[in-house]
Chains A and B, each alone.
Chain A
Amino acid sequence: MAQLLQHLINGLAAGTIYALVALGYTMVYGVLKLINFAHGDVMMVGVYMGYASAFALGREARGSLLGIAAVFAVAMLGCALLGFIIERFAYRPLREKPRLTALITAIGISFALSYGFQLDIGFLPGASPRAFPEIIEPTEWLIIGDRDVVVWNWQIISFLIAVGLMVGLQYLVFGTRFGQAMRAVSWDHRVAALMGIPTDRVIALTFMLSSGLAAGAGLLYAIKDTSVSPLMGLYVGLKAFVAAVIGGIGHVPGAVVGALVLGLVEEFVVGYAASSWRDAVAFGFLILVLLVKPGGLFGRVAAEKV
């Protein structure tokens, strides 16, 4: 029983982080109908930005509340800028082209970033994983019984940050003029442009928002995992992407639910079966969901126009 509870907690903690990354996929897909394959790698770049700024701060400043805020701010703003650049120079020129071209471009950017960061030329970090500096010192926040169930402070903190970001995003999409514009662009960007919505600006801002979120999520992941490596983006990104698709890509609450479900499934596989099967189970679950509901759990399959 206690073991089950512990797995539930770990699964939810992992799921919330996946959810934040998945939200980025879902937002971009909602607005552009583009699977932004490079999203996970933008997240990885964000984690390295956080890594560099945490070191720049020094050991004492790092643990303070202000220090944490600074690390997050640098990573998120830096990634928002990166997202802007990628959108402007790689995706915008292809907006009126077939969707496949943009997908291939996204895969290309993903490879350029993840393998580019593996080179050890100049400032690039090289292939070997590095220990992420402890910006939040891990302590046990809640212990039940004889260490049957342990809840760590970083689990609570990342849960709170994640929930806060999610609520904020929900408000942004459904409660602000910018969100209204986003939804209009996602409905039909040509008509939206005719109605006077600056579609280019809305799409660019959506990209910046999703990349910034990715950086935040990446830092939470790095705190949990305590290491950074250039390939982390490929795998975390893939998982989050699976989560977004399970929930129905383009559907904001669906991404969160999908990510929580995926986090729990993975945790139970690791806990009760074998950890080496984790990735296969994640993808098997995805295929199963898609076969039963081709649009994901909450998504709708768009009727085809003839």
Chain B
Amino acid sequence: MQTPALPIPESRPLVPPSLRGVLPVLLAVPALALFHWALSGSEFASYLLSVMGVNIILAVSLNIVNGMTGQFSIGHAGFMAVGAYIAGYASLQLKEVALSFLPVAASDQVLFTVALLLGGLAAAACGFLVGLPSLRLRGDYLAIVTLGFGEIIRVVVQNTDAFGRALGLSGIPQYASPSMVFFWVFLVVLAARRLAASSHGRSLWSIREDEVAAEAMGVDTTGYKVRAFVFSSFFAGIAGGLFAHFVPIINPGSFTFVRSMEIVVMVVLGGLGSTTGAIIAAIFLTLLPEGMRSLFGALGTEGSLAQRVDQIRMPIYGLLLVVLMLSRPQGLFGTREIWDVLPKWLSRKRGGQA
């Protein structure tokens, strides 16, 4: 009864050969360049894509703790806040600095990367602190500690003068372009997939399936849980840092329990343990409010309904969780990835051997 057992385990295939090695990098770099070129111009698309990218990073990174390791963390927004504030603060301090041996734009991007990494490392340090109690706590209790930790971070930020208290930080330079965001999306996805297929990853999966058995087999469960938290919170911090550099203002209100739950919804909807699922759910849930807004707008219903989309979103998320747990508790993908699903689906469609 102690360990939170998760939906039925499925076989764990490794990354298919085509995705190992340098191939993803060779594909992604030109794709990012193309992406950057295609987007220059449309401000709204850039913004939407940046939000989407940040959500993907958050969902994929939370999936490492919640999905792969089976430790239910509900304070992910806290790590995001740490990254956002530290990176934002660093950028504000470095605003006037320029690396003289580089052109201005390149210098800005270098400093931005430094700030981002600072934020990510600070968040990782917090992840270490949160992971430590997992030595003694498990299941529901650990979930509560993560929730408490997220709230503590919010209150600390709210009471720190350097972070602008309730007003937050403003005037952070807008360095984050969608291509930068998607570069990090690429990194987190690659890291998560390589982790899942590595021996470290197998230790995480074993903790998820049965912690006691894993321990009996000699897996250092505490060590791996702490590492999962550190890894996951690092990327959450990066996501926060990116977020801070394309919204005009960050304040403690952006990193509440509600934000944490949005990320949990993405992971649960996609399937606990599926990176593909986390990505698709993040994309879907980012576009959903926009889609609803334009749908209501196009239907010509009273304008108020279109404006209320943001209000309606949260109760819908709540009901979505309930319906999902009742009808498909493993989420859209379960623990499978796109390359587990796609071939089967294609062959069934062709009426081949299924």
Asked if B191 CB lies within 8 Å of chain A CBs, one says no
B148 contacts A113, CB within 8 Å? Answer: no
Segment at the interface with A among B30-38, B108-116, B319-327: B319-327
Q: Name B325's contact: one of A94, A127, A245, A287 (CB within 8 Å).
A: A94
Asked if A194 CB lies within 8 Å of chain B CBs, one says no
A33 contacts B152, CB within 8 Å? Answer: no
Segment at the interface with B among A45-53, A70-78, A140-148, A275-283: A275-283
Asked if A232 CB lies within 8 Å of chain B CBs, one says no
6 A-B Cβ contacts within 8 A? A104-B321, A105-B322, A107-B261, A276-B155, A283-B152, A306-B213
- In the complex, which residue of chain A has the Cβ closest to the Cβ of B262? A111
Contact flag A287-B318 (CB < 8 Å), given A108-B325, A119-B308, A279-B155: no
B72 contacts A103, CB within 8 Å? Answer: yes
Asked if A290 CB lies within 8 Å of chain B CBs, one says yes
Q: Which B residues touch A291, using CB under 8 A?
A: 133, 136
Segment at the interface with A among B3-11, B174-182, B196-204: B3-11
Sorted from nearest, which 4 A-B pairs have the closest CB atoms?
Answer: A108-B321, A111-B318, A112-B318, A283-B148
Q: Which B residues touch A111, using CB under 8 A?
A: 261, 314-315, 317-318, 321
Segment at the interface with A among B91-99, B139-147, B229-237, B280-288: B139-147
Contact flag A245-B144 (CB < 8 Å), given A277-B155, A280-B151, A290-B133: yes
**Contacts beyond the supplied A99-B5, A105-B326, A290-B136: 17 A-B pairs with Cβ under 8 Å:** A90-B322, A100-B5, A103-B4, A105-B321, A105-B322, A108-B319, A108-B325, A111-B317, A112-B318, A112-B322, A119-B312, A119-B315, A242-B148, A277-B159, A280-B156, A283-B151, A306-B216
CB distance from B164 to the nearest CB of A (A): 14
Asked if A174 CB lies within 8 Å of chain B CBs, one says no
Q: Name B311's contact: one of A119, A279, A302 (CB within 8 Å).
A: A119
Q: Name A284's contact: one of B147, B152, B158, B317 (CB within 8 Å).
A: B152
CB distance from B107 to the nearest CB of A (A): 38
A280 contacts B155, CB within 8 Å? Answer: yes
A101 contacts B329, CB within 8 Å? Answer: yes
A116 contacts B155, CB within 8 Å? Answer: no
Q: How far is the CA of A87 from the CA of B148 in the complex (A)?
A: 26
B268 contacts A103, CB within 8 Å? Answer: no
- In the complex, which residue of chain A has the Cβ closest to the Cβ of B129? A287
Asked if B2 CB lies within 8 Å of chain A CBs, one says yes
B311 contacts A115, CB within 8 Å? Answer: yes
B315 contacts A105, CB within 8 Å? Answer: no
Q: Which A residues touch B243, using CB under 8 A?
A: none
Q: Which B residues touch A287, using CB under 8 A?
A: 133, 145, 148-149, 152
- In the complex, which residue of chain A has the Cβ closest to the Cβ of B313? A115
Q: Would you call the interface of chain B mostly helix, strand, loop, or mixed?
A: helix
Q: Which A residues touch B318, using CB under 8 A?
A: 107-113, 115-116
Contact flag A93-B152 (CB < 8 Å), given A107-B261, A108-B319, A287-B145: no
Q: Name B326's contact: one of A35, A94, A115, A305 (CB within 8 Å).
A: A94
Chain A 262-306 against B: per-residue CB contact (8 Å), 1 yes, 0 no? 000000000000101101100110110011001000000010111
Asked if B1 CB lies within 8 Å of chain A CBs, one says yes
Q: Which B residues touch A42, using CB under 8 A?
A: none
CB distance from A148 to the nearest CB of B (A): 30
Q: Which B residues touch A105, using CB under 8 A?
A: 321-322, 325-326
A306 contacts B133, CB within 8 Å? Answer: no
CB distance from B103 to the nearest CB of A (A): 44
CB distance from B263 to the nearest CB of A (A): 12
Asked if B45 CB lies within 8 Å of chain A CBs, one says no
Q: How far is the CA of A98 from the CA of B152 in the complex (A)?
A: 29
Q: How far is the CA of A274 from the CA of B156 in the complex (A)?
A: 12
Q: How far is the CA of A85 from the CA of B314 in the complex (A)?
A: 21
Q: How far is the CA of A284 from the CA of B137 in the complex (A)?
A: 15
Q: Which A residues touch B312, using CB under 8 A?
A: 119
Q: How far is the CA of A304 from the CA of B2 in the complex (A)?
A: 7
B315 contacts A112, CB within 8 Å? Answer: yes
Q: Which A residues touch B155, using CB under 8 A?
A: 276-277, 279-280
- In the complex, which residue of chain A has the Cβ closest to the Cβ of B314? A115
Asked if A27 CB lies within 8 Å of chain B CBs, one says no
Q: Name A302's contact: one of B1, B72, B148, B212 (CB within 8 Å).
A: B1
- In the complex, which residue of chain B has the Cβ closest to the Cβ of A99? B4
Asked if B264 CB lies within 8 Å of chain A CBs, one says yes
CB distance from A249 to the nearest CB of B (A): 8
Q: Which A residues touch B147, using CB under 8 A?
A: 238, 283
Asked if A118 CB lies within 8 Å of chain B CBs, one says yes
Asked if B257 CB lies within 8 Å of chain A CBs, one says yes
- In the complex, which residue of chain B has the Cβ closest to the Cβ of A245? B144
Chain A 66-90 against B: per-residue CB contact (8 Å), 1 yes, 0 no? 0000000000000000000000001
Contact flag A108-B322 (CB < 8 Å), given A98-B7, A115-B315, A306-B212: yes
CB distance from B296 to the nearest CB of A (A): 13
Contact flag A98-B5 (CB < 8 Å), given A109-B318, A115-B311, A290-B145: yes
- In the complex, which residue of chain A has the Cβ closest to the Cβ of B320? A108
Q: Which B residues touch A283, using CB under 8 A?
A: 147-149, 151-152
